[in-house]
Amino acid sequence: MNKLIAARAAAVFTAAVLTACASTGRKDNGEGDDIGASSVTAEPVMINAETAKADFAALSTEKHGYGQGVQVDESNRTVGALDFNNTYGKYNAKAINEDTDKITLTFDQGYENGYTAKILDTLKEKKVRAVFFLVQDYAERNPELVQRMIDEGHQVANHSVHHYSMPSLAPDTCRSEIMGLHEYMKENFGVEMELFRPPMGEFSEQSLAVTADCGYKTVLWSFAYADWNVDDQPDPAEALEKLKNAAHPGAVYLLHSVSATNAQVLGDMIDGIRAAGFEFN
């Protein structure tokens, strides 16, 4: 990226972050921790719409498919997640929390498979709050579960309207996929979401910049495993060991609520990770 493009990208990102900090309500989790929070307060910075479009157009649209990989550092943190932070943090994006040792549990909610209520029961019993990334169809079809997430102190987050691959979309369409669900949740549940997970973990520099310009922080993950195939669920005992052994400072776990295995082992996983000396957000 040449100096002109870098300068334009920095301007877009700075304006987006300042605008978001000034206009978006932030809530902590009762313990002073909020992975979507910022300590910066500023007046919104206005940028010309045509200039913004030109800046987005200057950014790469190359599609990247995220994966945390298997290589870890001396603290058991996945190197792929740390590399993502280093490369794309300028777009208000991260895959691991480097400012806390606490672990964040996140669940992607593509559709309901009958296990979310059990997952919520376990989280309530264990006094753990999680982040649930919703697509709009899920919120429309399961308002009682979504309201329960909110009422029990969990953070509902944005997984787009239609679950499209974000780097395949024009900037305006990318924005509508984020803000369409944002407005739906605001109007129907009274919440303003602030975290976004791109569907399938696919992104480009341009899509990350557009997301930041919407006032959102992109959150990927530092641990995930093959839990999404409802017809080929992992063995519970093996999954439990894998989940416990993956614990690391600042971890962001990606789990799918359609998984019978996850619903079965979640309580033991939380207990095992706590026994290893970690706590959850």
Q: Give the pLDDT score at 56.
A: 86
Average pLDDT of the segment spanning 56-75: 94
What does the block give as tokens for 157? 């987050």
- Each domain of the chain, given as residue ranges in start order, spans 63-275
pLDDT at 278: 98
Backbone angles phi, psi at 94, to 5 degrees: -155, 160
Structure tokens at 247: 């614990």
Per-residue pLDDT at 258:
97
Residue 77: exposed, middle, or buried by beta-carbon count in 10 A (0-12, 13-18, 19+)? buried
pLDDT of residue 281: 86
- Distance (Å) of CA 206 to CA 6, 9, 180: 12, 9, 19
pLDDT of 233 higher than 80:
yes
Kindly state the percentage of the chain with pLDDT values over 90. 79
Q: Specify the range with the lowest mean pLDDT, choosing from 4-8, 42-46, 163-167, 196-200.
A: 42-46
Is 256 considered catalytic here? Answer: yes
pLDDT of 256 > 70? The answer is yes
State the pLDDT at residue 188: 98
Q: Is 63-275 in CATH node 3.40.605.10? A: no
37-41, 69-73, 267-271: lowest mean pLDDT where? 37-41
CB half-sphere exposure, 215, CA atoms < 13 A: 17
pLDDT digits (tens, 9 = 90+) for 118-177: 999 999 999 999 999 999 999 999 999 999 999 999 999 999 999 999 999 999 999 999
Which residue among 154, 163, 182, 256 is the active-site one? Answer: 256
Of 226 and 39, the one with more pLDDT: 226
Instruction: Report residue 124: phi and psi, to 5°.
Output: -65, -45
The more confidently predicted of residues 251 and 51 is 251
Question: What mean pLDDT is reported for the chain?
Answer: 86
Contacts of residue 171, defined as CB under 8 A and 6 or more positions apart, other chains included, come to: 53, 56, 57, 206, 210
Q: Of these residues, 108, 154, 159, 182, which one is catalytic?
A: 108
Residue 213 annotated among the catalytic residues of the structure: no
Report pLDDT for 54: 56
Tokens 């990226």 found at: 1
What pLDDT was estimated at residue 53? 57
Q: Of 47-56, 108-117, 163-172, which range is least confident?
A: 47-56
